[in-house]
Structure 1
Amino acid sequence: MEENLREEIDMGIVKISDEVVGVIAGLAATEIKGVIGMSANLVGGITQILTGKKNLSKGVKVNVGENSATIDLFVVIEYGVKIPEVAKMVQDSVKRTVETMTGLVVSAVNVHVQNVAIPKLDEIRVENEE
């Protein structure tokens, strides 16, 4: 794994891996109302099925440059929400959270809407009856 942040301090070196930044970004994105979850690529989905372990950085790609990071998020959005508004909230939340927790400068947060989750017919009927 590559280190995103390598900082020498008086007592030693602090290293933060790309996967850690990915987990932080994924969790920050899924906290936003309207985001159902992250979209795993084919390899990540198969790995999760075979190992049974939930990959908290699925749907997140982190690229770290000299002094900054670019984060790509592949999200599933809830049907009926305003996609541009939700995407903007995701960008703000991920940038703020990653910068606060890691000290990295986030230069870009790219949100890729991969799918729209449509509620099941039974759920719609229950909501209409209430």
Structure 2
Amino acid sequence: MDNQTGNAVADTREFSTVTEASGSEYGQIRINNNVIAIIAHETAKKVPGVVELQGSLADDLAGMIGKKSKDKGIRIEKENEELLTIDLTVVLEFGVRIPDICVQLQSAVKKSVEDMTGQQVYGVNVVVQGIRSKDEKKTEE
């Protein structure tokens, strides 16, 4: 979490390391946390009931000058070399059953990240930052 704003942000300074299961002589594969954040973002926006991922003030300012961030509202933490925790801050559609959408979101993001990176996801934490009606969603897109 961003200590000043309390919003989730992607930690882009570290790399997650995926080692090949076969013990290959080719070396290590390093996956930047931004890649994991993009996987989580693309997966999250496909879950019905998710309107958007909510980022920090810095993300909002970057959006105003034309920079769109795929890691907005996402923070990746390494528990150890092969275990990740993903924090998502989201806005959901008004009228959905919030716990059900959050469980779907957790399951989908965990599966996508594990399938695409080979790393184990320890947990996907979801903070519901707000809700928005369908009409509001359509006018902002």
Give the TM-score normalised by structure 2.
0.79
Measured against aligned partners, the alpha-carbon deviations of 1:15-41 in whole angstroms (never above 9, x if no partner) come to 101111111111111110000110011
1:36 matched residue in structure 2: 51
* Distance in 2 between residues matched to 1:22 and 1:40, nearest whole Å: 12
State whether structure 2 residue 31 is matched by structure 1 residue 16.
yes
State whether structure 2 residue 65 is matched by structure 1 residue 60.
no
1:13 CA drift (Å): 2.7
The share of aligned pairs that are identical, in percent, is: 34
State whether structure 2 residue 94 is matched by structure 1 residue 79.
yes
Report SS of the residue matched to 1:113.
Answer: strand
1:6 CA drift (Å): 4.2
List 4+ stretches of structure 1 deviating above 4 A: none
1:128 matched residue in structure 2: none
Report SS of the residue matched to 2:19.
Answer: strand
* Distance in 1 between residues matched to 2:52 and 2:64, nearest whole Å: 17
1:127 matched residue in structure 2: none
User: Which structure features the higher share of strand residues?
Assistant: 1
Q: Name which one, 1 or 2, has greater alpha-carbon Rg.
A: 1
Which stretch has the larger CA shift, 111-120 or 6-15? 6-15
Q: Which runs of 5+ in 1 are unaligned?
A: 124-130
Q: Which runs of 5+ in 2 are unaligned?
A: 1-12
1:120 CA drift (Å): 3.8
User: Which structure features the higher share of helix residues?
Assistant: 1
State whether residues 38 and 70 of structure 2, in contact with CA within 8 Å, keep that contact through their aligned partners in structure 1: yes
The aligned amino acid for 1:70 is T
Report SS of the residue matched to 1:65.
Answer: strand
* Distance in 2 between residues matched to 1:90 and 1:120, nearest whole Å: 22
